[in-house]
A and B are shown apart, each in its own frame.
Chain A
């Protein structure tokens, strides 16, 4: 099987579209059940390298939005463009390939595959996208080397940690491993869904700073979702999901 993702580098896509936006949503609507539109986003854009704080209380449809952005769900109407590629027009396999190549995802908790080692968890996206593996190699010499480098950057440099099973780590350590996994191979966009809610206040700041630095270092944009506005100071721009989600405001009004 030829991995077509090799042919579509982000730079190439961006040049061809002539746009600097990493993510672009236009008139996107989504409903789990017919006539119950829970998400209607007229317009939302993330620029290259931008770090955005998306404030969304539970029930505002943020998990659904993240699934839409990552191409796991498809909207009923509208356009989602990731790095110049129109996801809504793409086939499911193309969306999966694009996600593998250009997205890093950090969940609230339980981020890691329990039966893989720390290092293997970090390297996982490179196993699903050759292009991403290639970029990791270019950056770190080898996929494992890059994984180790990222772990070290995130304060998990001790060699004995790398071979550990992911579930043996503390929650804070697990979140940092998840961040390393999201960052490996320099994806265009990193989606972080309440990644710090399981951490104590001191650790939150450190975690966000590390994440921001690494995103900046490799030019990845960051979409950080949280209900905790006190974290918003770490970001370039704050967006309120309730404000951009027309469906939510209707329901509230």
Chain B
């Protein structure tokens, strides 16, 4: 009963100080929103990266850096510096240790979304999240030369349906200056959302990539490209010469290190094979310093929020001596006065944190599509979780701890004042 009484008093006294109370709450809310937001996005980025490659044993591409290879092949961040040959691809694919391979040929775009040349293995063997395969929201895999399968986000954001015709662009700009406009593609399939970069890609067959680049061998459009219409180009041999990278699945995990070494010392051309998990942890090491710095800064903001709570209580202490004397007169012990102020801090921390989390989730809901589009980070699984609860409880604990200082002063005043305030 005593606790309920004091809690009610703490809450009501806070309500009474509307302006300063609101400002304090706002400061706490913002600090919590910032701190939790940074942590969420950090964890979200990691989770989203980690769920993108599941079940792949090796990523193979032309020799560059492991992180670089992982970033451009799987996460579609940055560009490949060189390609690998189709001959190497075929050789690796036929290695007895290899169970399956997925070829990836990047370089073209459609309205800012990447076009990926691949084959049916993508739909059969690609794994993401907890060993999930790609599934079709509608339609089916590409079969014809000019068929395209859209990622969920591409279809949603550009409003495409099965049967629509689309024109791909050369290069990766959002605004294209060179279109493959005489070779339109037909949408035959739309994938379910995966929370991976697949959602933002247009998947076509490898021959299709060759087909739209007939006449573009120099890197720019030649008259040949215009002459070779969609119908004419079908008669050509469209076997690719090179590709950007490949994903390799092995029959047995035990052979992965040996296989990696064999590929890294490949005789025909300089190749690089990386184990996705290891490359990812290298990536985290690289960005770790910046991450920690960001965390430290947001933790400092939390500290500022706590100081604001402390100040808000300290400044009212003197003008509340009369109130404390009244409470003493109706039976409150000095310990009750102490506890009342600690409770006030805890209530401010609780409400502030709650408000902060609300602001954060409202903000995340609003910003998630933008972050996904701009940074390629899908904020999947960023709903309220245990972490928020930990933040809330910790903040309440810290605020209560710090409030012991003003509470102690009020306790001493209560003992010295008696029933009359001796200022």
A→B interface (CB under 8 Å): 1, 3, 63-64, 66-67, 70, 72-73, 92-93, 96-97, 99-101, 103, 105, 107, 110-116, 124-125, 127-130, 181, 193
B98 within 8 A of A: no
B1 touches A130 (CB 8 A): yes
A115 touches B13 (CB 8 A): yes
Query: Distance (Å) between the CB of A54 and the closest chain B CB?
Result: 15
A-B complex: 8 closest residue pairs judged by Cβ atoms: A100-B331, A115-B16, A128-B331, A67-B418, A105-B329, A96-B333, A127-B5, A72-B418
Chain A residues whose CB sits within 8 angstroms of the CB of B327 once the complex forms = 113, 124
Q: How many residues of B are counted as interface, with CB atoms below 8 angstroms from the partner's CB atoms?
A: 25
B1 touches A127 (CB 8 A): yes
A105 touches B2 (CB 8 A): no
B331 touches A97 (CB 8 A): yes
Q: In this complex, which of B332, B333, B335, B419 has the most chain A Cβ atoms within 10 angstroms of its Cβ?
A: B419
Chain B residues whose CB sits within 8 angstroms of the CB of A100 once the complex forms = 330-332
B12 touches A105 (CB 8 A): no
B51 within 8 A of A: no
Closest chain A residue to B319, Cβ basis: A114
B332 touches A113 (CB 8 A): no
B331 touches A101 (CB 8 A): yes
Q: How far is the CA of A97 from the CA of B323 in the complex (A)?
A: 19
B→A interface (CB under 8 Å): 1-2, 5, 9, 12-13, 15-16, 322-323, 325-336, 418-420
Q: How far is the CA of A70 from the CA of B418 in the complex (A)?
A: 9
B419 touches A66 (CB 8 A): yes
Known contacts: A73-B418, A93-B333, A96-B332. The answer to whether A115 contacts B326 by CB under 8 A is no
Chain A residues whose CB sits within 8 angstroms of the CB of B335 once the complex forms = 93
Query: Distance (Å) between the CB of A101 and the closest chain B CB?
Result: 7
Query: Distance (Å) between the CB of B33 and the closest chain A CB?
Result: 28
Q: How far is the CA of A105 from the CA of B2 in the complex (A)?
A: 20
Chain B residues whose CB sits within 8 angstroms of the CB of A127 once the complex forms = 1-2, 5, 330
Q: List 18 A-B contacts (CB under 8 A).
A: A1-B2, A63-B419, A64-B418, A66-B419, A67-B418, A72-B328, A73-B418, A96-B332, A96-B336, A100-B330, A103-B329, A105-B330, A107-B329, A113-B323, A113-B326, A115-B12, A124-B327, A128-B5
Known contacts: A70-B329, A92-B333, A101-B331. The answer to whether A128 contacts B2 by CB under 8 A is yes
Chain A residues whose CB sits within 8 angstroms of the CB of B1 once the complex forms = 3, 127, 130
Q: Which of B5, B15, B331, B334 contacts A99 (CB 8 A)?
A: B331
B326 touches A112 (CB 8 A): yes
Q: Which of A64, A114, A124 contacts B330 (CB 8 A)?
A: A124
Query: Distance (Å) between the CB of B17 and the closest chain A CB?
Result: 8
Closest chain A residue to B328, Cβ basis: A72
